[in-house]
Amino acid sequence: MERPITLGEYIVENQKDFAYAKGELTALLSSIKLAGKVVNEKINKAGLANIIGKLDKENVQGEIQAKLDIIANDVFVDTLRNRGEICGLASEEMESFISFDETINLDSKYVVLIDPLDGSSNIDVNVTVGTIFSIYRRISPVGSPVTLEDFLQPGINQIAAGYLIYGSSTILVYTVGNGVNGFTFNPGVGSFFLSHPNIKFPDTAEIYSVNEGNYEHFPKGIKKFIKWAQLTDNLQNTPLTARYTGSLVADIHRNMLLGGIYLYPQGSLSPNGKLRLLYEANPIAFITEQAGGKAVDGKNRILEILPKELHQRSPLICGSKKLVDRVENFIDKFP
Residue numbers belonging to the annotated binding site for Mg(2+): 92, 115, 117-118, 280
Binding site as annotated, residues? 92, 115, 117-121, 211, 244, 262-264, 274, 280
The DSSP secondary structure of 183-206, one letter per residue, reads EEEETTTTEEEEEE-S----S---
Residues 240-279 contacting ligand AHM, CB under 6 A: 246-248, 274
Please report, for residues 43, 46, 121, 154, the alpha-carbon distance to residue 39 in angstroms, rounded to integers and kept in the order given: 6, 10, 16, 28
93 or 150: whose CB is closer to Mg ion?
A: 93
* Shortest distance in whole angstroms from residue 114 CB to Mg ion: 10
Torsion, Cα of 255, 294, 269, 118 (10° steps): 50
Count of beta carbons in the 10 Å neighbourhood of residue 104: 10
- The answer to whether the CB of 116 falls within 8 A of the CB of 69 is yes
Q: Considering CB distances under 5 to 8 angstroms, the limit depending on partner class, which of Mg ion, ligand AHM, none binds residue 247?
A: ligand AHM
Q: Pattern 70-109, binding to ligand AHM, x per CB under 6 A?
A: ----------------------x-----------------
Interface pick for Mg ion out of 85, 93, 115, 289 (rule CB under 5 A)? 115
Decide: helix, strand or coil at residue 264.
Answer: strand
* Shortest distance in whole angstroms from residue 108 CB to Mg ion: 25
Give the interface segment with ligand AHM, choosing from 6-14, 117-125, 137-145, 198-206 (CB under 6 A): 117-125
* Shortest distance in whole angstroms from residue 298 CB to ligand AHM: 16
Separation between Cα atoms, residue 101 and residue 88, nearest integer Å: 8
State yes or no: residue 312 binds ligand AHM (CB under 6 A): no
* Shortest distance in whole angstroms from residue 61 CB to ligand AHM: 8
Separation between Cα atoms, residue 169 and residue 243, nearest integer Å: 19
- Going by C-alpha positions, the residue among 331, 149, 306 that lies closest to residue 226 is 331
Interface pick for Mg ion out of 69, 118, 206, 297 (rule CB under 5 A)? 118
Contacting positions for Mg ion (CB under 5 A): 115, 118
